[in-house]
């Protein structure tokens, strides 16, 4: 039973559709990349998957097992957030635990340990008291990924997560994501241009080429 | 000056608004909606005018208009996603135009309107004081109880929505809250300066605070200090209270900017010490070492 099923999706921003008759299944424990040339509607596809955009026709069906807060999303431009946003790194990453805690439940040692773990994983534990506006682009990106992981999602959706990262950090991120998929049974859907770098860690690639062509490649 | 009941009321009303308006300001500034308070005050003025013309309590109609204006801005913000300042311009000019036309229908309105335009905190009535207290309590409950979803959607709306925050509902509730606080703050500084009470303390706080709670606290302290010192200065120098409060808040902000710049020049201020690459110079070596240590 897939976590999410997209069937016969048609969507566009104007008269002309940018996605035509797209169908795909997203399963538990899969590391999937969505790739393709500029303008192939990769980000649009993510927005349709997440319900941020509504398709003209077709269906997006989520498994009943997917509860509120079980999907985490890191958009493409999130690292360019307001540099004056008044938060330290640790405060922002802690906010990733909010969906699990609801409005009032306080932080316990479990959440503190989780935040420490994800910050250490992305190599930013030492910078936890730094204001987020003071970080570099790549560091901001890693903070946002850490925040999403602190949510402990069943499905993690990342749009161009390696923007601003050097090669070593990119490889380490792919390795870490692959590890969480295999050891914790999470699913990761990631838009990327760096297919050749990510390929060794992926289970499947959805390659979008233009409005109609769509190739699913199992690796 | 506290032997006068009107001054006691003025300090109480000013203190209550200074408690809630700067907190609202933090969210408005971060959501890039600083002009929303200005717009809603103009819309509220149209409500006051309409109330007077149709013989409905003007305070109440002004309040209602501010809330409706907030809801309308939020709806238009969703329509004009790319040009989010367009709805603000549309609603502001519509509110002002409606107020002007309604004012022309009743000649006696022009005189009492100066108190709405420039504020008359020393003439705050008992009813207004009760409204201000109620709005402050509701506002505090709103911002405290919903601080987690508000934080999430202020950081990024799409990620908040995906993680389960009812962003649309929250945004409309936030718009209603903004309308209520703006309408309640109008007697203090008036239509023309209401955004000074909301935006200036938060703009100052956001320059210095390193956390969200500390930003809210700092904004409230700045707001309260500005209101109390403005009222005191106004009493002794016989200047309009609204304008005096706004000028003092402006001096605070300019002073804060000057202190921050001086501290940067002297090398004391580390927070803004950011190089072109975005990595703080003073800690560049440390962060590079950290990257090599990361484990993923």
Residues 6+ apart with CB under 8 A from A104: B145
> What SS3 state is found at B93?
helix
Looking at beta carbons, which residues of chain A come within 8 Å of B166?
Answer: none
Q: What residue in B sits closest to A169 (Cα-Cα)?
A: B291
What residues of A are in contact with residue B209 (Cβ under 8 Å)? 86
Question: What is residue A33's three-state secondary structure?
Answer: strand
Task: Name the 3-class secondary structure at B206.
Answer: helix
Facing B206 at nearest CB: one of A86, A169, A172: A86
Per-residue b/e over A2-28, b at no fewer than 16 CB within 10 Å?
Answer: ebbbbeebbbeeeeebbbbebebbbeb
Of B159, B271, B296, the CB nearest to A134: B271
Confidence of residue B247 (pLDDT cuts 50, 70, 90): very high
Most confident of B53-67, B258-272, B282-296: B53-67
Interchain CB distance below 8 Å, B156 and A175: no
DSSP state of B274: B
Q: Are B60 and B51 in contact (CB under 8 A)?
A: yes
Q: Please say if the pLDDT value at position B155 is more than 80.
A: yes
> Helix crossing, B58-79 with B36-53: angle to 10°?
140
| Per-residue pLDDT, B284 | 39
CA angle B55, B57, B58 (to 5 degrees): 95
Query: Touching check for A126 and chain B: CB below 8 Å?
Result: yes
Q: Which residue of B has its CA nearest to A129?
A: B210
Is the pLDDT assigned to residue B17 strictly greater than 50? yes
CA-CA distance, A19 to B200, in Å (whole number)? 46
Residue A55 and residue A84 in contact, taking contact as beta carbons nearer than 8 Å: no
Task: Provide, as residue numbers in chain B, all residues whose Cβ is less than 8 Å from the Cβ of A51.
Answer: 161-162
Alpha helices in B156-240 (DSSP H): 157-162, 167-189, 194-208, 212-237
Q: Which of A50, A122, A140 sits opposite B294 (nearest CB)?
A: A122
Mark yes or no for CB contact A88/B210 under 8 Å: yes
Cross-chain Cβ contact B156/A81 below 8 Å? yes
What pLDDT, in 10s, does the model give residues A169-214? Answer: 888 889 889 988 888 888 999 998 888 888 888 989 998 876 555 6
Mutate to test the interface with B, among A52, A53, A86, A152 (most CBs of B within 10 A): A86
Dist CA B120 CA B109 (whole Å): 16
| B296 vs A87, A88, A122: nearest CB | A122
Asked if B287 lies within 8 A of A84 by C-beta distance, the reply is: no
Instruction: Note which residues in 46-85 of chain A have CB less than 8 A from chain B.
Output: 47, 50-52, 68-69, 71-75, 78, 81-82, 84-85
Q: For residue A112, which phi and psi values (nearest 5 degrees)?
A: -60, -40
The mean pLDDT value of chain B amounts to 83
Give A-chain residues touching B277 at CB under 8 angstroms: 136
Question: Six-digit token pair at A35?
Answer: 């790739």
Distance CA A89, CA A151 (A): 15
**Residue A165, helix vs strand vs coil:** coil
Q: Does A13 touch chain B (CB under 8 A)?
A: no
Burial B45-65 (b: 16+ CB within 10 A, else e): bbbbbbbbbeeeebbebbbbb
**Ranges in chain A, pLDDT < 70:** 78-81, 210-219
Q: Do B278 and A85 touch (CB under 8 A)?
A: no
Residue B128, SS3? helix
Cβ neighbours of B162 in A, within 8 Å: 50-52, 71-73, 157
Q: Which residues pair with A209 in a beta bridge?
A: A213
- Taking the model in full, what pTM does it have? 0.84
ipTM, two decimals: 0.86
Residue A70: DSSP 8-state: -
Work out the minimum CA distance from A30 to partner chain B, whole angstroms.
19
For residue B269, the model assigns a pLDDT of 65
Closest residue in A to B142 (Cα) is A103
CB contact under 8 A, A81 and B158: no
Residue of B nearest to A178 (CA): B296
> What chain B residue is nearest to A136 in terms of C-alpha separation?
B278
Binning pLDDT at 50, 70 and 90, where does residue B255 land?
very high
Of the partner residues B30, B146, B214, the one whose CB lies closest to the CB of residue A85: B30
Write down the pLDDT at residue A69.
79
Q: Which of A102, A172, A125 is nearest to B163 (CA)?
A: A102
The pLDDT tens digits of the residues spanning B59-99 come to: 888 889 989 988 988 888 877 777 777 878 888 888 889 88
The model's pLDDT over B96-135, given as tens digits with 9 standing for 90+, comes to 898 888 888 776 666 667 777 777 777 778 888 898 999 9
Q: Which of B27, B157, B278, B289 to mutate to test the interface with A (most CBs of A within 10 A)?
A: B278
């Amino acid at each position: 039973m897939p976590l999410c099923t997209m069937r016969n999706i048609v969507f566009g921003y104007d008269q002309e559709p940018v996605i035509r008759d797209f169908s795909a299944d997203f399963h538990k424990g899969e590391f999937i990349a969505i790739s393709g040339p500029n303008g192939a509607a990769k980000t649009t596809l993510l927005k349709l998957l997440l319900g941020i955009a509504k398709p003209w026709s077709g269906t997006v069906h989520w498994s009943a097992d997917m509860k509120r807060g079980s999907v985490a999303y890191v958009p493409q431009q999130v690292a360019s957030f307001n540099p004056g946003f008044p938060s330290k790194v640790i405060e922002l990453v802690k906010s990733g635990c909010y969906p699990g805690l609801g409005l009032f439940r306080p932080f316990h040692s479990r959440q503190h340990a989780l935040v420490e773990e994800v910050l250490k994983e992305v190599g930013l534990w030492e910078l936890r008291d730094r204001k987020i506006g003071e970080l570099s682009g790549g560091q901001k990106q890693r903070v946002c990924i850490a925040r999403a992981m602190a949510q402990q999602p069943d499905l993690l959706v990342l749009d161009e997560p390696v923007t601003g990262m050097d090669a070593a950090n990119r490889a380490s991120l792919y390795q870490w994501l692959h590890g969480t998929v295999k050891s914790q049974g999470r699913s990761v859907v990631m838009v990327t241009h760096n297919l050749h770098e990510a390929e060794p860690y992926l289970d499947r690639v959805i390659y979008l080429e233009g409005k109609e062509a769509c190739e699913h490649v199992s690796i | 000056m506290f032997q006068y009941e009107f001054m006691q009321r003025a300090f109480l009303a000013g203190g209550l608004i200074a408690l809630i308006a700067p907190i609202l300001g933090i969210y408005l500034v971060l959501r890039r909606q600083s002009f929303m308070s200005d717009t809603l005050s103009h819309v509220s003025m149209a409500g006051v005018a309409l109330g007077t013309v149709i013989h409905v309590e003007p305070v109440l109609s002004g309040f209602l208009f501010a809330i409706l204006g907030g809801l309308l801005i939020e709806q238009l913000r969703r329509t004009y996603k790319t040009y989010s300042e367009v709805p603000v311009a549309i609603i502001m000019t519509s509110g002002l135009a409606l107020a002007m036309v309604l004012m022309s229908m009743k000649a006696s309105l022009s005189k009492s309107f100066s108190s709405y335009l420039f504020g008359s905190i020393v003439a705050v009535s008992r009813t207004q004081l009760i409204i201000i207290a109620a709005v402050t309590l509701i506002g505090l409950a709103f911002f405290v109880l919903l601080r987690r979803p508000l934080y999430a959607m202020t950081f990024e709306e799409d990620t908040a929505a995906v993680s389960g925050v009812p962003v649309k509902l929250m945004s409309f509730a936030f718009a209603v809250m903004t309308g209520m606080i703006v309408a309640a703050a109008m007697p203090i500084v008036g239509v023309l300066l209401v955004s000074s009470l909301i935006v200036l303390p938060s703009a100052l706080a956001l320059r210095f605070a390193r956390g969200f709670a500390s930003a809210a606290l700092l904004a409230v302290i700045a707001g309260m200090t500005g209101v109390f010192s403005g009222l005191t200065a106004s009493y002794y120098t016989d200047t309009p209270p609204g304008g005096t409060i706004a000028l003092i808040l402006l001096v605070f902000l300019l002073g804060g900017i000057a202190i921050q710049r001086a501290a940067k020049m002297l090398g004391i201020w580390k927070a803004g010490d950011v190089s072109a690459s975005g990595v703080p110079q003073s800690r560049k070596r440390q962060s590079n070492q950290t990257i090599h240590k990361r484990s993923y």
